[in-house]
Amino acid sequence: MRIKYLLLVLLIQFSINCFAQPRIISGPMLGPVELRDAKVWVEVSPEVKTVSILYNKKNDSKTLRTINYKGELGNDFNPITFVIGGLDFNTTYNYKFLINGKPTNKEGEFTTKDLWQWRKPAPDFSFLVGGCAYTNQPIYDRPGTPYGGDSSIFETMAKEKAAFMMWTGDAWYSREVDYYSEWGLWYRASHDRAVPVLQNFLKAMPQFALWDDHDYGPNDIGKHYILKETSRKIFNSYFCNPSAGENDQGIYTMTSWGDADFFMLDDRWWRSADRIKDSIDGKPNSAKTMFGAQQLEWLKNALLFSGATFKVIVTGSQVLNTVSPYDKLLDFPAEYYELLNFLKEHKVNGVVFVTGDRHHSEVIKMDRQGAYPLYDITVSPLTSGTHKFGGPEKNNPYRVLGVDEKQNYGRFSITGKRTERKLTVEFLGIKGEKLGQWSVSEKDLKMP
């Protein structure tokens, strides 16, 4: 009897060891890759005791270096970001990971930016844009037809030779069981990040992200969300943007690539409830905000400092689609007019808006008297349910191009000689098929 008991204990222990091996759960994922440093992210299982990253210049084993992770491990969720410094510009590096001192098959490569300024023309480059990525999990999903679509779109995107990916919000979707559970919010980010079909894409190019409602919390929620502090910590743990707001407030930040600056805005942290009145006594209600005073002050100064050919303002909610019955900046009219008046009064050239959320893609054009037209380029969804143009938007007079009822992502390209640069947007389907194309030149985005 004792022998049988010991055998049973050994069998149970063997099973635990088999199913709870120290491992990398998801990643690697590339974060920002700059001239002198790069960020590489992974998440490891609770059983892991030590994590190290080894890196070297490609085909040069003599430059091999090791960074050991010195933070806390052993939690239910263990996302880690390594910052690799002291790199050479325009140089390709290989990297791989050690878990508990043993090599893994988790590896990749990255190439630092080139120092082109004052030396050569601005480089031609492309980048990807997309949002609204729903991962089905039937036990927690609403009954009926699954909301998540064909996730093979990430396999297509992984093959793109792009400089980076820009997530426009809803990189994962919290469910009812997650909304008011701190553990649930961590679980949702960890679960959806670990889906196998996503892994090759995460390491294929640097990943930048801003949030919208679903990866912030419940649908349409704003600044009153009681777990907003937890949500901010989780977002900053699962993406490794260049920075995250100021004074521990919000997640806004910016990045640059070539002759383009990208201003990534937070449309949730300061967002008033949608039902607060837009106007009081016929005047815009200044107390109703989407971006908040702190963030708008930062944006204005950042735009005036920028000398970029293209100044791309990225946010989750649409900015210029005035006929939309859903989330849009005009529902917060004080900030809408403040921002548009600022752009005109200060003669800010090169501005385009890039947005997500809507489950369709389109280009919205707004003509301005005495100024160049503004454009709002919306790209979504990656895998979530799609939207059909209808109601006041069915024949939107401001729409230049539209793609509805199709999963898609955007490939943005910036090309051309100095003073003749052009921004081209291609909307691409699940297998990379072209669904639409639009372009604008730098000359079309200059004040008269």
- The DSSP string of 253-276 is EEEEETTEEEEE--SSTTPPPTTS
pLDDT exceeds 50 at position 120: yes
Which are the contacts of 137, defined by CB distance < 8 A and separation ≥ 6?
Answer: 175, 191
Spatial contact of 238 and 189, defined as CB atoms under 8 Å apart: yes
pLDDT exceeds 80 at position 9: no
Cis geometry, peptide bond prior to residue 22 (ω within 30 degrees of 0): no
Q: How far is CA 307 from CA 153, 260, 287, 416, in A?
A: 35, 9, 32, 17
Predicted confidence at residue 113, as pLDDT, reads 98
Predicted confidence at residue 364, as pLDDT, reads 98
Spatial contact of 244 and 231, defined as CB atoms under 8 Å apart: no
Predicted confidence at residue 6, as pLDDT, reads 39
**Torsion from C-alpha of 127, 133, 331, 367, nearest 10 degrees:** 30
The string of pLDDT tens digits covering residues 377-423 is 999 999 999 999 999 999 999 999 999 999 999 999 999 999 999 99
Predicted confidence at residue 10, as pLDDT, reads 39
For the chain, the C-alpha Rg in angstroms (whole number) is: 23
Cα–Cα–Cα angle for 385, 391, 396, rounded to 5 degrees: 95
Domains defined for the chain, CATH in brackets: 20-111 (2.60.40.10), 125-445 (3.60.21.70)
Please report, as a single letter, which amino acid is at residue 363: V
Question: 31 is written with which tokens?
Answer: 């974060």
Q: How far is CA 279 from CA 52, 225, 235, 287, 325, in A?
A: 55, 24, 33, 10, 17
d(CA 262, CA 446): 18
pLDDT exceeds 60 at position 243: yes
Phi, psi (degrees; rounded to nearest 5) at 293 = -65, -40
Spatial contact of 343 and 319, defined as CB atoms under 8 Å apart: no
Spatial contact of 289 and 445, defined as CB atoms under 8 Å apart: no
Residue 360 is classified by DSSP as S
Predicted confidence at residue 8, as pLDDT, reads 43
d(CA 219, CA 131): 15
Predicted confidence at residue 5, as pLDDT, reads 41
pLDDT exceeds 80 at position 13: no
Question: 100 is written with which tokens?
Answer: 């508990």
Cα–Cα–Cα angle for 241, 152, 92, rounded to 5 degrees: 45
User: Where residue 352 falls among pLDDT bands split at 50, 70, 90?
Assistant: very high
Predicted confidence at residue 19, as pLDDT, reads 56
Q: Nearest-CA neighbor of 165 among 260, 355, 280, 30?
A: 30
pLDDT exceeds 50 at position 192: yes
Which are the contacts of 92, defined by CB distance < 8 A and separation ≥ 6?
Answer: 57, 58, 109, 110, 111
pLDDT exceeds 80 at position 235: yes
Predicted confidence at residue 262, as pLDDT, reads 99
Residues in the chain: 448
User: Where residue 343 falls among pLDDT bands split at 50, 70, 90?
Assistant: very high
Q: Nearest-CA neighbor of 372 among 399, 354, 350?
A: 350
Which are the contacts of 386, defined by CB distance < 8 A and separation ≥ 6?
Answer: 149, 359, 360, 404, 405, 406, 407
pLDDT exceeds 80 at position 4: no
What is the pTM assigned to this prediction?
Answer: 0.95
Burial class (CB in 10 A: 0-12, 13-18, 19+), 49: exposed
Predicted confidence at residue 20, as pLDDT, reads 76
Q: How far is CA 412 from CA 153, 217, 289, 378, in A?
A: 17, 29, 30, 12
d(CA 15, CA 188): 26
Q: Which residue has the tokens 């996503």?
A: 198
3-state secondary structure of 207: strand
d(CA 386, CA 364): 18
Residue 78 is classified by DSSP as E
Question: 248 is written with which tokens?
Answer: 């521990």
Q: What percent of the chain has pLDDT over 70?
A: 96
pLDDT exceeds 90 at position 14: no
How confident is the model over 210-215, as a mean pLDDT?
98
Predicted confidence at residue 17, as pLDDT, reads 44
d(CA 439, CA 135): 32
Residue 9 is classified by DSSP as H
Range with lowest mean pLDDT among 19-33, 89-103, 337-351, 355-369: 19-33
Question: Which residues does residue 8 pair with via DSSP β-bridges, in sequence order?
Answer: none
